[in-house]
Every structure is written in structure tokens, then in C-alpha cells.
């Protein structure tokens, strides 16, 4: 069976387990004796091993199997957790991440066996349990071989428990007449196996590579539902040798043993005869584990196996059943051989209550639409006021629907930030600095499309804090600071925005050094430097290629990072600002919109063109007399409630000729962090909920236009990006 349809589920769950392992191993480093953490790591490794085995990723399965073995010994008290073990485990996680990335890209795990890592894990096992475990392993293998040698006798006893019906007997007889081989197999699953149905599916799959399964006991449906103890029996028609099929079935992980015997006509008749003598009782066995996604492949294959068996029985009487089925099986195997690149979609797991709310709102929307249609079609007895009431109701429902859809798209930023504690740990060792990362607000939710994009900018800022921000332990001691530096990552919702702050208690930004570097590189002139504010100097750090690092390291200092951070955040309609105090530390503040799809906007007119400005950017709207406009350094400003606010005439920015000299100006005051600016417009239309449409490549170089929207009358209005104007 092709398991590629389960690839998306596999990748999602693998990501979750890898995140869990990252967090748990970090905790284990702090508390090596915490049995709860050890058990969590064991379970995660065990689950990963089972999932990789189900999907057929042998290398990933082998590595997680060895990790599981190590933690099995840790749980039993035979091995103690040491620093070198933690380092090796993190290397294992990196290897698993590499497998996962390869699988996401091509559905193949790659060719890296990670033998050095597996050897290190084996060495840990030897150090904890001595050579006894190896001896035990060899003994087990010997016992297994002895079991195979005595398979016929043992298997005869197992197969005495099964009963063949007339249809199975017909197929079996026909196969023997055509010179086919018929084998009875008994498969035993390990007692510790969690996903028994998934293992059974893999055995079915392995056996069907060589022939056709014509009978299973328990039935395929019962095996699918895990209604069996630790073993099940199969009868297979094939051209292959018994040893070949046995080795193929045994290759499946968590299979304790597979034994088999040749079934001839006399043996088959004996199985049918017993059918009349013994009443066979099938009891439903309680599933030992709750149903998981890992069982899905088993369900699909079981149904397929049943359909295949039914087809076999139906055509057996024609005398050509087995031949036809072998041909079909060959064609099926040839078809499976064709590789295909996976199609992996990004998913959001949604609470069922959110979907219920969404469905209710859609129902309300239909009712509102019907009421509006009815009101507009029947003029008699309907006043404009009544129609307006229906329109207001419709607006209310659509607003609620928008909010509900937004909530469905929202995911916690936890999925992005969970990898950062591990990164800071590695940086601490690489930079030889003591540091701790403190995070809060991981449950804060953002639109999924935004969450996918903020990982790299946040990583740049954290690396910057670790490398540039925090001083060495010696310098910190001299300054009376704790030797261990602190980096904080805080996330919280602020109105219709999410704010993420990265701060540290390090050196802060030396504005004089930044200024000197900028003059040296020709970014600014000495005269410009004299008149620049501290904030303007700090903003120079966001220039492409600008760096104050004295030495170039592989952590930071190549001049790439902060410019990338700014461009990435602004592409998400967000903003980034810096607050710093020399000797105390720095705070990098990222402000992002909750959603990028639908916004509340103020519609304005410049000349004859309509434009939209996001309400989130707007502070106030003022009516200013022309006499109140002053010139400061040859730039227009206004004084408003104690603040000096620069004016931006949109007609000049948009290259629209000005007509007339109005006595009063309509000024929309917009904000970006602590900065304000006044946008001069000709006319206000009012507030409106708009749907943002991307401009694609049409206006790719014009940063002041962030998109477009279609108005109610079909006219297109451009959306102004206030951040780029300030």
C-alpha cells in the first residue's frame, strides 16, 4: 500500500515529538534524575520509532530505536545521565531534523546512516550495562534461530486453531493444482508494541510483496481494530520460498517472531475437517491503546485486503483465480515502484467549538442575506429604515464571521519559539558565555501565515543579543552584574496587534561607536551625525551590510541579520524598533498585525483617487489651519498638544499635482512606535472593512503601497503603508 497519503500526518506529528524532545532534553540537563522527564523522552523516542517504521523510514527508525534503548536503560537505573550524553542526544535531534527536512522535501529520508551517532549511543549502552546486554542479545538471536528451525512443529499447533471455509479451500486447491506454493504463517508481535494494528499492516504489506494472502485469523477487520492478542495467522499463495517470506515479515520492527509451514492438500483438508468438529469462538479484545493516526494505514490496507480476498473467493470457481490475482499483484508492485514527490500542505489544528461557531455564523449570514433580498424586492410596507436595519444586521454578522475565521487561522507562537532554548544553550557553549533564556507568552496566537515567517527574524535578534548584547563573565563581574546573562523573549497581544520583545541585560548599544562606523563607511557625513538623535543613530543598524562587530564570527557580525529582520517584519505589515541604554541592555520590539487578510481602514481621497489607511496606524484626525504649519530644518511640521509632528503631503508622495490653496488642511495623524506623522489628504470618506488583495509584481518597488482593495461599487483603491511613510 502507498503510505504517502499519510505523509502530512507523519510530518506534523514528528515535528511535535521533536519539539517535545528538545524541551525535555533541556529539562533533563537541569534535572538529570527527574524520572517524569526521562519517561517523556522514552515515550517520544518510542513513538517516533514506531511512526518511522510504519512509514518505512529505516534510518530514522534505527536512530530512534537506539535512543529508546538508551533511555530504557536510564529508566531501569543501569545508566546515569551525564553531560556528554546530553550533547549526543542533541546531535541525534539534529540528525532527526535533517531526516524530517528531507522527507518534507522529497518523501525520502536520504542516505545518511549517522553511523558515528549510533556508535556513540551503543558506547553509552555498553558503559551502562557492560557486555551483558550484548550477550543477552546474542542469546536472544540464537533462541530466535532455534525457534525458526522448530517452526513447523510449533506452527502446526498454532494453525490447528484456525478453520478454513469452502471458498478458501477452493482457492487453495486451485493454487496447488497450478504448482503454486501455499504457506501457513504465524506472526507474534512484541509485548511492548503500542501500535499493533500498524505492525500487522506492515507484515501484510511485506508478505504481499511475494504473493497473495487468502486467509487471516483473526479477520482483517479484527486485526484492523486491534482485536487480537499478540499473534495472528495468515495463509499465503506464492511462487517464493518460505524462508524468503519469513525473512521479509521478520524485517518489520517490533515483530517478535514469524514461523511458518508448507500447506499441502492433506494439511488443508485437516484444517477444513476441524471446522466441523470444533466450535471456534472469536472474542473481541479490548484495544490496549487509544486509536491514533498511526493506525490509519492499517485500516486502509485491511479494507483492501478484505476486498482482495472477496474478489479471490468470487472468481475461484472458474479455475483461473490465482493466476489472475498474481498478475494483478505484479502490476500493483510495478505501479508502487514509481517515485512521487510529496505534496505537503500547511495545516492548522482547529478546536471543534471554533468550527461550530463558524458554522452558526454562516447560517446567520444566509438568514441575513435572505432578509435583505426580501426587503429589497418588496417595496410595499417596507421603509428605507427597515432595509437599513437588515444591512446593519448583515454587517454585524459578517464582522463576527471575520473574527471567527481569524480565530480558526490563529495558532500559538509556541511552535516557533520552542527551538530557541536549545539554540541559546548551544550559543552559550560556542561563545563561552553564561546565559539563560526566559520566555513568556508562548500561548499568544498569530495568523498561521505570519507565524511561519517570524522564526528567522526572532532567531537573528536572539543571536544578536547573545553575541553583541551580553558581555563576557569577567566584564559582567567588573560591572557588578550576575555572571549569567539574561535574555528575555516576551509575547503579548496589544489591541489588534501582537507584540514580541527580545531584550537582554547586556552592554546596550554604543551610539558613538555606531556613529563613528557610519561616518567611516560613508553612510552619513560628520555634519549629519552632529544633528542625529540617538534613535536615528540606532536605526542605522538596520542598513544592509552595517555591522559594528570588531571580529567576524559564525554567530553574527557579518552585517546580515538586522536588515533582514526589518525587511521581513515590514513585509508582514509589521514594524520593529529598538530601545537601548548603554551598560544596561537593549530591547528589540516587533509589532505585528493579528491578520493580513481583512482590516478596518479609513478611506480618504487625494485629488480624485481613493486610498485606504489601516485604522491600527491612525492616532487622530485633525483639522489644521494653514497658518499653523511651520518650517523646521526646511521641513513642514505642526505643533499638536505639545508634540512637534512632521507633515507628509500625500499628493507630493504620490506625484499628484496640487490644485488650489485651501485655508484648512485635513491631517490624519499616524504612528509608528513612538514616532508620529501627519498625512495631508483632500477628503475623508469614512471607516470601512476592506479585504486586502496583493498587488503581486505590479507595484513591487513602491513600498508605500502595501496592497489594494475592491470597493462596493467595483472601484479599486490602493492601500497606503503608513510605516513606510514615517
Active site residues: 46, 68, 464
Sign of CA dihedral 576, 577, 582, 584: negative
Cβ distance 89 to 38 under 8 Å? no
The alpha carbon dihedral of 284, 288, 289, 294 has a sign of: negative
> Do 127 and 138 touch, CB atoms closer than 8 A?
no
CA-CA distance, 519 to 527, in Å (whole number)? 10
Closest residue by Cα to residue 664 from 636, 624, 607: 624
Cis peptide before 36 (omega within 30 of 0): no
CA–CA separation, 84 and 239 (whole Å): 52
Distance of CA 351 to the CA centre of its chain: 17
CA distance 2 to 557: 48
> How, if at all, do strands 485-494 and 445-447 pair?
unpaired
**Residues 575/569, Cβ–Cβ less than 8 Å:** yes
CA atoms of 503 and 485, how far apart (whole Å): 11
Strand pairing report for 675-681 and 643-649: parallel
- The 8 Å CB, 24+ separation contacts for 267-272 are 267/184, 268/164, 268/169, 268/172, 268/173, 268/176, 268/182, 269/169, 271/159, 271/160, 271/162, 271/163, 271/164, 272/163, 272/164, 272/165, 272/166, 272/169
3-state SS, one letter per residue, for 14-47: HHHHHHHHHHHHHHHHHCCCCHHHHHHHHHHHHH
HSE value, Cβ hemisphere, 13 Å, CA-based, for 720: 27
d(CA 469, CA 490): 17
Long-range contacts of 367-372 (CB under 8 A, 24+ apart): 368/393, 368/394, 368/397, 369/394
Amino acid at each position: 500500500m502507498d503510505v504517502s497519503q499519510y505523509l502530512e500526518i507523519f510530518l506534523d506529528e514528528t515535528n511535535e515529538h521533536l519539539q517535545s524532545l528538545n524541551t525535555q532534553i533541556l529539562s533533563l540537563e537541569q534535572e538529570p534524575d527527574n524520572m517524569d522527564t526521562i519517561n517523556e523522552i522514552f515515550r517520544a523516542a518510542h513513538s517516533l520509532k514506531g511512526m518511522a517504521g510504519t512509514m518505512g523510514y529505516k534510518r530514522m527508525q534505527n536512530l530512534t530505536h537506539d535512543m529508546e534503548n538508551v533511555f530504557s536503560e536510564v529508566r531501569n537505573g543501569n545508566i546515569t545521565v551525564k553531560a556528554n550524553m546530553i550533547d549526543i542526544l542533541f546531535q541525534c535531534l539534529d540528525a532527526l531534523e535533517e531526516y524530517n527536512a528531507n522527507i518534507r522535501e522529497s518523501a525520502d529520508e536520504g542516505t545518511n546512516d549517522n553511523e558515528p551517532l549510533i556508535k556513540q549511543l551503543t558506547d553509552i549502552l555498553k558503559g551502562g550495562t557492560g557486555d551483558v546486554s550484548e550477550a543477552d542479545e546474542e542469546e536472544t538471536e540464537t533462541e530466535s534461530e532455534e525457534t525458526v528451525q522448530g517452526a513447523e512443529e510449533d506452527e502446526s499447533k498454532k494453525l490447528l486453531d484456525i478453520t478454513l471455509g469452502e471458498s478458501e479451500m477452493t482457492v487453495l486447491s486451485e493454487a496447488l493444482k497450478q504448482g503454486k506454493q501455499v504457506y501457513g504463517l504465524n506472526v507474534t508481535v512484541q509485548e511492548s508494541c503500542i501500535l499493533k494494528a500498524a505492525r500487522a499492516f506492515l507484515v501484510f504489506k511485506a508478505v504481499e510483496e511475494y504473493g497473495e494472502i487468502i486467509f487471516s485469523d483473526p479477520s482483517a477487520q479484527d486485526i484492523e481494530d486491534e482485536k487480537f492478542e499478540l499473534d495472528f495467522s495468515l495463509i499465503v499463495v506464492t511462487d517464493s520460498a518460505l524462508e524468503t517470506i519469513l525473512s521479509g515479515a521478520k524485517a518489520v520492527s517490533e515483530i517478535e517472531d514469524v514461523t511458518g509451514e508448507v500447506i499441502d492438500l492433506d494439511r488443508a483438508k485437516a484444517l477444513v475437517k476441524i471446522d466441523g468438529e470444533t466450535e471456534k469462538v472469536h472474542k473481541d479484545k479490548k484495544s490496549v491503546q487509544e486509536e491514533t493516526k498511526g493506525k490509519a494505514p492499517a485500516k486502509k490496507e485491511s479494507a483492501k485486503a478484505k476486498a482482495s480476498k472477496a474478489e479471490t473467493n468470487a472468481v475461484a470457481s472458474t479455475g483461473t483465480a490465482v493466476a489472475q490475482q498474481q498478475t494483478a499483484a505484479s502490476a500493483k508492485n510495478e505501479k508502487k515502484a514509481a517515485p512521487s514527490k510529496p505534496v505537503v500542505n500547511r495545516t492548522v489544528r482547529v478546536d471543534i467549538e471554533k468550527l461550530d461557531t463558524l458554522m452558526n455564523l454562516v447560517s446567520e449570514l444566509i438568514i441575513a442575506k435572505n432578509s435583505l433580498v426580501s426587503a429589497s424586492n418588496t417595496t410595499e410596507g417596507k421603509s428605507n429604515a427597515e432595509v437599513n436595519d437588515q444591512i446593519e444586521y448583515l454587517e454585524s454578522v459578517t464582522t463576527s464571521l471575520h473574527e471567527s475565521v481569524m480565530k480558526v487561522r490563529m495558532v500559538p507562537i509556541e511552535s516557533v519559539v520552542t527551538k530557541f532554548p536549545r539554540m541559546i544553550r548551544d550559543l552559550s557553549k560556542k561563545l563561552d558565555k553564561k546565559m539563560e533564556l526566559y520566555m513568556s507568552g508562548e500561548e499568544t496566537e498569530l495568523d498561521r501565515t505570519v507565524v511561519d515567517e517570524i522564526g528567522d527574524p526572532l532567531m537573528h535578534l536572539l543571536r544578536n543579543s547573545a553575541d553583541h548584547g551580553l558581555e563576557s563573565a569577567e566584564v559582567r563581574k567588573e560591572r557588578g552584574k550576575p555572571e549569567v546573562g539574561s535574555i528575555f523573549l516576551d509575547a503579548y497581544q496589544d489591541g489588534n496587534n501582537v507584540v514580541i520583545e527580545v531584550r537582554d541585560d547586556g552592554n546596550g548599544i554604543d551610539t558613538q561607536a555606531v556613529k563613528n562606523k557610519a561616518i567611516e563607511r560613508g553612510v552619513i557625513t560628520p555634519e549629519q551625525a552632529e544633528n542625529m538623535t540617538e534613535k536615528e543613530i540606532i536605526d542605522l543598524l538596520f542598513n544592509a551590510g552595517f555591522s559594528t562587530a570588531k571580529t567576524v564570527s559564525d554567530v553574527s557580525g557579518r552585517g546580515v541579520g538586522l536588515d533582514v529582520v526589518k525587511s521581513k517584519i515590514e513585509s508582514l505589515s509589521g514594524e520593529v524598533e529598538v530601545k537601548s541604554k548603554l551598560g544596561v541592555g537593549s530591547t528589540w520590539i516587533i509589532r505585528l498585525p493579528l491578520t493580513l487578510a481583512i482590516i478596518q481602514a479609513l478611506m480618504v481621497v487625494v485629488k480624485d483617487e481613493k486610498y485606504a489607511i489601516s485604522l491600527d496606524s491612525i492616532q487622530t484626525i485633525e483639522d489644521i489651519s494653514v497658518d499653523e504649519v511651520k518650517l523646521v530644518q526646511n521641513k513642514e511640521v505642526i505643533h499638536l498638544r505639545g508634540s512637534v509632528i512632521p507633515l507628509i503631503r500625500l499628493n507630493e508622495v504620490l506625484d499628484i499635482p496640487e490644485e488650489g490653496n485651501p485655508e484648512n488642511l485635513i491631517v490624519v495623524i499616524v504612528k509608528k512606535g513612538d514616532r508620529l506623522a501627519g498625512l495631508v489628504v483632500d477628503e475623508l470618506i469614512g471607516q470601512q472593512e476592506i479585504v486586502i488583495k496583493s498587488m503581486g509584481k505590479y507595484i513591487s518597488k513602491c513600498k508605500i503601497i502595501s496592497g489594494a482593495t475592491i470597493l462596493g461599487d467595483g472601484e479599486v483603491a490602493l492601500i497606503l503603508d503608513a510605516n513606510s511613510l514615517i
